[in-house]
Structure 1
Amino acid sequence: MKTFKTSIALACIAALYGAPALAQQQTGGLQGVLSDPSHQTYFEGAQIKIKELNQSTVSRRDGSFRFSQLPEGDYTLLVQYLGAPEMSIPVTISAGKIISKDVLLDVASTELENIVVFGQRAGQASAINQQRVSEQIKSIVSADAIGQFPDQNAAEALQRLPGLSIERDQGEGRFVGIRGIDPNLNNVTINGVNVPSPEAGVRSVALDVIPSELIQALEVSKSVSADMDADAIGGSIEVKSVSAFDKSDTTASVTLQSSYNDLRGEISPKMSASMTKVFNDDFGVAAAISYFDRDFGSDNIESNGDDEIEQRYYTINRERIGAAVNFDYRPDFNNQYYLRTLYSKFADDEYRQANTFTFDGDDSEIERGSKDRYESQQILSVTAGAEHQRGNWTIDYQLAYSKADEDEPDSLYYTFVGEGMAIDSSMQGQIPQITQDTAATQLQNYELDEISFEDNYSKDTETSFKTDISRQFDWAGTPVELKFGGKYRSREKQTDANIFIYDGDFDDIAAGDFAADTPDWGLGDFGQGLNRGVMRDYFNQHRSALELAELDSELESNGASYVNKEDITALYLMGKFEFDKLHIVAGLRYEDTDFSTQGMRVELIENEQTDTEDVVNTDWSAKRSYDYLLPSFSARYEFSDKLIGRFAYSETISRPKFEDVAAFQIIESKTEEDDGEFVTEREAEVGNPQLKPYESNNIDISLEYYPGDIGVLSAGYFYKDIKNFVIFADVAGSSDWQGYDEVIQAQNGEDAKVIGVELSWVKTFENGLLLSANTTLSSSDATTLLDGEEYKTSLPNQSDKVGNLTIGYESNLLSLRLSMSYKSENLEEIDGDLIRMEQSHQQLDFMGKYFVNNNVYLYLNAVNLNNEPYYHYFDNPSINAQYEEYGRTIELGINWQL
């Protein structure tokens, strides 16, 4: 298979160099820009066609379009943009010349006037037009559309699209699922560059790291073509940051906001600003910055479904800082150079107080604990590239560097234990109630049991280079574009854990000295709190005198530290064919992966027979290589200007999570006396460097109806057959694990299947009313293990129903949105011999804007109006697994635009 890389490259070159023989000889070209009459707004996604030649193209984000190798003659240029009347423009092509023809959209219609003057509907119009002309099955959110909802980050903005749902952390959207597929199986890029994940062990990118103010557009491709990365079983999410050439003149925007969270009674500030400037039509700079300092919290109660309940009280400070500076240099229409940068920092200062009740009659116990943790996640992306037009050749190349890291310095955990207290619970209901005596609520009746201190760091870096070369020509009257290219990605994921456990010599410590006022916990009786500052001061002053559990600390630290490396080389060849109303894109992609991992085998040995206790560390490394040849095919058929049908087939992969394939083994071996004999029990948790990637065959079919104004009615069907689905299994007793009682390891399991339909309707009315509704109905099946036996179930995080409903109104003075997002219940995980489910989630949000004038508007947002909680349960809804409340958040702000 290695020789395929050379073969496909030669085939690409031969095909493209053979193309000129098929081309017309005496030809010219046509180029232009699509804008409004004031040249202030460019229109992306317009379909521009030369009627007589049946050649078409699409306007880019700067409104530009281009045709090359056109025969001499007189032609008709047709311009179609939803929300504006179709335009017909005569053009004359001369041999050897490139004609410039700028196009001004007719703004006679009321809807388009609103787009140009206020931009209220610009986001919706732009997104629908881009979706209409896309070669993939795609959903898009533009910057203007993001501003029409109270969404704080990229994840929350994406939840409004058909088939997309989000996983929340402390009430905020964090990870994005496409059609219910695990977020680890999505591909996320910023300005075309793959984004590494700051979190240890995973591939999924938490999109709450990226503030919405830095985004020009979000594109979700649910089908892929050969020129796209193959690791996208769920789909591909592209984040596009601002560019100076998105506007023709200097622009500036400043937003000031204050928000209030009613659960904690906290007020939080937010500020953002952006600007673009073009110098001499050749050089442009765009910059954006965002700062948000939010104080909030949550009330939580969890259980194990059997004999344990935990009360949790969170106070959180979450800070987001984002910045983007982009440079564009365009000396002429045939050459473009760019530098894109994006920096984002997400800092989470979390303090958690918890009470854990274990019910066992006279042996019942209560643990009171704290988590004092500051975590920062950073993403840096730098991209440099260029595009060159050489006749009917287009050459693109890009060099990029991305880095993501997560730093958890000085995390501090305290555990206090109380025994002999009267506690009881029925363990029933979403919020199980606990009866406890007065002594259980007083910290002075507890003893300090353990202190742990952690300093953890993970880093994920990627360097990449790619090039794309394409050529357009006419083949027997059929417009054809052949394209080939390659990409190289080098990635390193490093996790470094430093864990220190102190578990003895606390006899002279009075637990009551660490007491604080009772937290305002809204789910029951919490008891005295724990004083964060006093506990931190005590540890800092007495750490050197505390008794360190050296072996446990060594086991935990070394077992969680490893380095994974991944080098990916890709080559592709594809063709685009335009047969009147039928557009076909077909291609072949080859990806070769070299993977290596370095970690440690760590074994804790406790032996009563020899009265010894020790930790044995052994270096462990592994390597493997694999490659794939992946075809893709898509077709778009225009039944009419308003009705479009699509079909797509693709084969994609997704590489396993880094923690699943990492070279780590954590083994505990205990030798104890049992009925006069010494018996050894061994348990382990291990990685699996030999895991195979997920493989998926994907089919998509859709029908889209565009009524001619700003609106679309669509229906789609999708099917995914996923092989090598990863499950966790007990492999004790297998050839590598003889003599072990339990060994938990990730394994490639049986096939998994996903099938579903997507329905979407977007409509704007002349009276200002806006309606948007979408739903995804799907089902899945997969084979996993439950209590050691095969069990048929749905995919984790797969909801049968996902939907959004938005009702809005717009005028020259007001813009209003009331939106609902819904996600039905889904399997969260198999927890031992219990099935853990996430209950359905339905949330209402409101956005209102008042336009003071063309430059200033005021806005009011209300997030989680219905105070929807987050709820997990075991087996049936009456058995609590986790219940959490976040409260409502009200935002008031002002925006000024130049």
Structure 2
Amino acid sequence: MIHRFSTGCAMAALAIAAFGAVPAFAQSAPAADAAVESDAAEANDVIIVTGAIAESQAASIREKRIAINLVDVAAADAVGRFPDQNSAAALSRLPAVAVQRDQGQERYIQIRGAPNRWTSVMIDGVPMIGVDEGGDTRAFRFDAVPAVILSSMVINKSLTPEIPADAIVANVDLRTWSPLERKGLHVVGDLGYGFMNLGKGEQRQASLRVSWANDVVGIVLGGSHYRRKQITDNREVGAYDAPSDANDTTFGPTEIDIRQYEIERWSNGLFGGVEYEPVAGQKIWAKAIFTEFNDDEQRNQYELRLDRAASGTRNLDNGNLVGVPMRGSFNYGEYRNRNMIGAIGGDYATDNGFTANIRLNYARTENTSYLPLVQASTSGLNSPSLTYQRSDPRFPVVSLFNTVQVGGRPARGTTALTAFNQTSLNNAGSIAIAARQATVSDSYTVKLDVSKKMDRLTLSAGGLYADRTISGNNFSFSNVAAIGALGSRVGQPFDVNSFVTNRPWVTDFPLGFTLNYIDNRAMRSALDSLLPALTAAGLYNPDNDIPVTDRYRQLEKTMAGYVMASAELDNLLLTGGLRLEHYRLINSGTALIGTTQTPISVKQNRTDLFPSINARFSMGEDVVMRLSGQRGVSRPAYGAIRVGSSINDTASPGTITGGNPGLEAEYTWGIDGSFEYYLPGNGLVSIAGFHRWVDNVFYQNAQVVGSNVFDTPGRDRSGYLLTSTFNGQNGTLYGVEMTYQQQFTFLPSPMDGFGFQGNLTLLDGQFDTQVVNGAQQKGVDFQGLSGTIWNASLYYEKYGFSARASYQWRSDWLDSLGGFGSGESRKSYGNLDVSLRYQVTDNFTLFADAANLTNETYVAYQDTLEQPTEVERIGSRYLFGMRFNF
């Protein structure tokens, strides 16, 4: 286990909230305000605002305080006060939120340490689904949504009936700007330029938002751009030999994988909206959003294949090997993720408390990747001899020697090499692997909500219809072209060794010898020219880039309705209701049985009830306590349930590799409780606890199919062995969240400009697998669950100057499940960011942002830190610029 946190801690927090709530029913102290609107006014009375950070903090606290459920809020200006380019980075400042990074950049969020699939997303209240590489997860990619297009981000940690039920731990609502919020003409934006410390690649950003409104009409247009050029230092080990027993010290790494990536990433966002409100409370509106995340990566990779050495010895600490093949892998790959959203709607409210809201939404999400990989290896005496030592397992240091022939056998020469001869790869054996993936989702959504307020009782009802089409394929690597051998046959010889440059690697990592960069762009251009020529000559078939078994097409329809009542009982606001969801899926694909392609289609229908209840107790002016319960669901990813598969009828028993269309959704019951004490100076002290009981937890394994979904006439395959994703048994997830934030207005000037924001989350959770052949794994960690997550920010804001230092830390966690939980783990890490602002005039502010000042090293490992599988570093980054506001 990576972490342990007792159930008692989580239940203690719930007990605090529940115990504190008991006297709320009977106490005779002054009652809280009857209406939410009165709560809002009261909240404003106790918030002291002195500066932009404080204003943002005040807005967040106000919304949290008056919410009917348990929420955390990031207001818009908080984004501008941090060096956060996307919404994942901005959300990571909130309690119990951890981020998953790719090449050091924030991509997914994990709330309460749960798998990212357990968090759902809405944009302006309309549910969105995530599509990612291969369709292996429904997790939403936040790196494709620039933070500057949003007005606020709300994390709903407890659900109410109007929120879609597909959220086990949380739902995130990303809210865009409303032009009618500010009258007149307003122009807001920023310009920034900087650099990445490792490699000195440029970093730049710009955003512009223009809005105009009078008493009736509001219009907003805006856009954003962010680009960075970075180098990623990377070391990997494919695997470690398994020790024969506990005393075996002869096992070691099977390879040392030396990588460096030259990366150019850019995000763009465009948004626009118009609102028309001829009468107060009666509004129609339209919005359009386009966001994209682009990633061009040049891979320079050399693998020292230690387990294929001609002779020698190796272990965990060191090795002395002769004739070690060196394989080069190179590509210029392209990743793309795009969201296109269009919505129209209307809001209607009357003086007698009736409201109605309708939203019609179309959303298209595309995720595509093309990573054509060129590989070639040394052979014979071109394979160097070497010694290695791993005094620091993260950074193995290798000494190269030439390989000579002695007595008819290869031996280590006496000449030490300061550089590897990168032109010594065996070009005749070079190959190209077409790696392609695409997932596209088209979604149409209609959402209607109505409510009626009657004195202290508010009744609400609504419905949702979502129609989605998802098509795509898993990442496919099966099509291989022998470019070194075939190029000359079509008059386009390909020489992998001709693309070596004289430009040395820029690296922070020790190695023991030097390497130069490959001209990956020129190699990609040559490959793009060669493959069509091979195709025309009948030597290559691009149709095989994506096998039919990797493809999927799914039609998904969700119909939902809910009823909800909210009752104000003096100091108690009680909200409860029921949501009904009918889910239908038509799952189509192709099974490959021997050499025969067989279409398969599986239909699923499921109707579920999702009750929820939220209680908010207001104790005087400063104390709020909450208690809630709910049921939620997490449905399988598209790639995981695809019917496409490869079936082997000749094995005994038969085998199937592919998706698992019989996979059931994960269901949960959960409770939440919190105690919130609101302080002067935008202050808050809170403790919250939660517990989730989860059924049907997903995990990867090989086990008996157990259903007829792969059967064909005359062939029963229910007893075949399927390698795929399966449902485990029950699991539990629980934790405690503690928050403190306050501006120190009680201090004498100028010290009253100081403030603090911090939160600490303690988590634990496990699940049990199925019983397979009499064996069962109990207490398996959830993917992504860090036992401890904390964030701390110290800021100072006065006299037009603003400074903030922020540190984020999370403990070790399990990153991937290999079968029964024996997967790759990630080492704890922290990131230190500093932001400086100076308001030159009312309209201009200068800024300087420094991110990742700790120059963090991200480490993945197998079993222990003595066996790292990936070590990565991107360096710190710096951005300077100006913000303007007219």
TM-score range, shorter chain: 0.7 to 0.9
Partners of 1:417 and 1:552 in 2: CA distance: 24
* Structure 2 equivalent of residue 277 of structure 1: 212
What is the Cα deviation at residue 739 of structure 1? 11
Which digits, 9 at most, give the CA deviation of each residue in 1:361-388, with x for residues without a partner?
A: 3174321011211222110111111111
* TM-score where L is the length of structure 2: 0.83
* Structure 2 equivalent of residue 14 of structure 1: none
Partners of 1:723 and 1:774 in 2: CA distance: 30
What is the Cα deviation at residue 663 of structure 1? 1.5
Are the counterparts in 2 of residues 177 and 234 from structure 1 also a CA contact under 8 Å? no
What is the Cα deviation at residue 53 of structure 1? 11
Are the counterparts in 2 of residues 294 and 317 from structure 1 also a CA contact under 8 Å? yes
SS at 2:768 equivalent: strand
Which digits, 9 at most, give the CA deviation of each residue in 1:682-705, with x for residues without a partner?
A: 754221112111101110010000
Are the counterparts in 1 of residues 434 and 545 from structure 2 also a CA contact under 8 Å? no
- 1:557 and 2:547 are equivalent in the alignment: yes
What is the Cα deviation at residue 336 of structure 1? 1.3
Which digits, 9 at most, give the CA deviation of each residue in 1:296-355, with x for residues without a partner?
A: 120101113311221111011111110111111111113111112211111111111111
Which digits, 9 at most, give the CA deviation of each residue in 1:496-537, with x for residues without a partner?
A: 578742036628754422322342233223534432133223
Question: Aligned runs of 1:362-377 on 2, under 5 Å?
Answer: 362=310, 364-377=324-337
In structure 2, relative to structure 1, the CA distance for the partners of 1:730 and 1:565 (3 Å cut) is same
* Structure 2 equivalent of residue 519 of structure 1: 505
- Counterpart of 2:664 (choices 692, 710, 726) is 692
- 1:80 and 2:80 are equivalent in the alignment: no
* Structure 2 equivalent of residue 55 of structure 1: 34
* TM-score where L is the length of structure 1: 0.82
Are the counterparts in 1 of residues 40 and 66 from structure 2 also a CA contact under 8 Å? no
- 1:252 and 2:187 are equivalent in the alignment: yes
* Structure 2 equivalent of residue 597 of structure 1: 587
- Counterpart of 1:486 (choices 432, 439, 463) is 463
SS at 2:268 equivalent: strand
* Structure 2 equivalent of residue 855 of structure 1: 843
Report percent identity of matched pairs: 22
SS at 1:484 equivalent: strand
Which digits, 9 at most, give the CA deviation of each residue in 1:465-497, with x for residues without a partner?
A: 0111111114xxxx1001111110111111057
- Counterpart of 2:301 (choices 354, 369, 374) is 354
AA at the equivalent of 1:569? M
In structure 2, relative to structure 1, the CA distance for the partners of 1:336 and 1:874 (3 Å cut) is same
What is the Cα deviation at residue 454 of structure 1? 4.4
Partners of 1:161 and 1:268 in 2: CA distance: 26
AA at the equivalent of 1:295? K
- 1:173 and 2:173 are equivalent in the alignment: no
In structure 2, relative to structure 1, the CA distance for the partners of 1:884 and 1:488 (3 Å cut) is same
- Counterpart of 1:191 (choices 117, 120, 124) is 124
In structure 2, relative to structure 1, the CA distance for the partners of 1:487 and 1:841 (3 Å cut) is same
In structure 2, relative to structure 1, the CA distance for the partners of 1:536 and 1:845 (3 Å cut) is same
Which digits, 9 at most, give the CA deviation of each residue in 1:70-113, with x for residues without a partner?
A: xxxxxxx993134657xxxxxxxxxxxxxxxxxxxxxxxxx43x
* Structure 1 equivalent of residue 569 of structure 2: 579
SS at 1:660 equivalent: coil
* Structure 1 equivalent of residue 625 of structure 2: 645
Which digits, 9 at most, give the CA deviation of each residue in 1:856-889, with x for residues without a partner?
A: 1101100000101111111111111110000010
- 1:394 and 2:355 are equivalent in the alignment: yes
Partners of 2:108 and 2:32 in 1: CA distance: 46
* Structure 2 equivalent of residue 315 of structure 1: 262
Gaps of 5+ in 1: 1-50, 60-76, 86-110, 606-614, 672-678
- Counterpart of 2:826 (choices 838, 846, 854) is 838
AA at the equivalent of 2:42? Q
- 1:704 and 2:676 are equivalent in the alignment: yes
What is the Cα deviation at residue 198 of structure 1? 4.0
Deviates more, 1:191-200 or 1:212-221: 191-200
- Counterpart of 2:450 (choices 463, 469, 477) is 469
AA at the equivalent of 1:512? N
* Structure 1 equivalent of residue 793 of structure 2: 806
What is the Cα deviation at residue 749 of structure 1? 0.6
AA at the equivalent of 2:601? S
In structure 2, relative to structure 1, the CA distance for the partners of 1:847 and 1:83 (3 Å cut) is farther
Partners of 1:641 and 1:777 in 2: CA distance: 29
Are the counterparts in 2 of residues 345 and 379 from structure 1 also a CA contact under 8 Å? yes
Partners of 2:120 and 2:718 in 1: CA distance: 41
What is the Cα deviation at residue 205 of structure 1? 1.0
In structure 2, relative to structure 1, the CA distance for the partners of 1:371 and 1:539 (3 Å cut) is closer
- Counterpart of 2:480 (choices 501, 510, 519) is 501
Partners of 2:189 and 2:40 in 1: CA distance: 38
* Structure 2 equivalent of residue 130 of structure 1: 63
* Structure 1 equivalent of residue 248 of structure 2: none
- 1:457 and 2:414 are equivalent in the alignment: no
Gaps of 5+ in 2: 1-29, 241-253, 312-323, 404-418, 489-493, 709-715, 746-751
AA at the equivalent of 2:269? G
Which digits, 9 at most, give the CA deviation of each residue in 1:556-603, with x for residues without a partner?
A: 532221111210000111100000001100101100000111111135
CA RMSD of aligned residues (A): 2.7
Question: Aligned runs of 1:44-443 on 2, under 5 Å?
Answer: 55-58=34-37, 79-82=41-44, 84=46, 111-112=48-49, 114=50, 119-199=52-132, 200-201=134-135, 202-279=137-214, 281-306=215-240, 307-360=254-307, 361-362=309-310, 364-390=324-350, 391-408=352-369, 411-420=371-380, 421=383, 422-425=385-388, 429-437=393-401, 441-443=420-422
- Counterpart of 1:713 (choices 681, 685, 689) is 685
SS at 1:340 equivalent: strand
Partners of 2:724 and 2:447 in 1: CA distance: 36
Which digits, 9 at most, give the CA deviation of each residue in 1:194-227, with x for residues without a partner?
A: 2232424131111011111111000000000111
* Structure 2 equivalent of residue 9 of structure 1: none
* Structure 1 equivalent of residue 756 of structure 2: 771
Partners of 1:451 and 1:415 in 2: CA distance: 6
**Higher RCO (Cα < 8 Å, 6 or more apart):** 2
SS at 2:866 equivalent: coil
* Structure 2 equivalent of residue 632 of structure 1: 612
Partners of 2:864 and 2:838 in 1: CA distance: 46
SS at 1:124 equivalent: helix
Partners of 1:689 and 1:741 in 2: CA distance: 15
SS at 2:458 equivalent: strand
* Structure 1 equivalent of residue 729 of structure 2: 750
Partners of 1:501 and 1:340 in 2: CA distance: 45
AA at the equivalent of 2:700? F
Are the counterparts in 2 of residues 838 and 871 from structure 1 also a CA contact under 8 Å? yes
Partners of 2:771 and 2:465 in 1: CA distance: 41
Are the counterparts in 1 of residues 290 and 340 from structure 2 also a CA contact under 8 Å? yes
SS at 1:121 equivalent: helix
What is the Cα deviation at residue 148 of structure 1? 1.5
AA at the equivalent of 2:472? T
AA at the equivalent of 1:490? D
- 1:541 and 2:489 are equivalent in the alignment: no
SS at 2:36 equivalent: strand
Which digits, 9 at most, give the CA deviation of each residue in 1:149-178, with x for residues without a partner?
A: 111110000001001110001111110111
Deviates more, 1:430-439 or 1:220-229: 430-439
Partners of 2:258 and 2:655 in 1: CA distance: 30
The aligned length equals: 778
* Structure 1 equivalent of residue 424 of structure 2: 445
AA at the equivalent of 1:264? G
Deviates more, 1:706-715 or 1:361-370: 361-370
- 1:760 and 2:735 are equivalent in the alignment: no
Q: Which has the higher strand share?
A: 1
Partners of 2:140 and 2:529 in 1: CA distance: 38
* Structure 1 equivalent of residue 634 of structure 2: 654
- 1:780 and 2:765 are equivalent in the alignment: yes
AA at the equivalent of 1:768? G
SS at 1:648 equivalent: strand
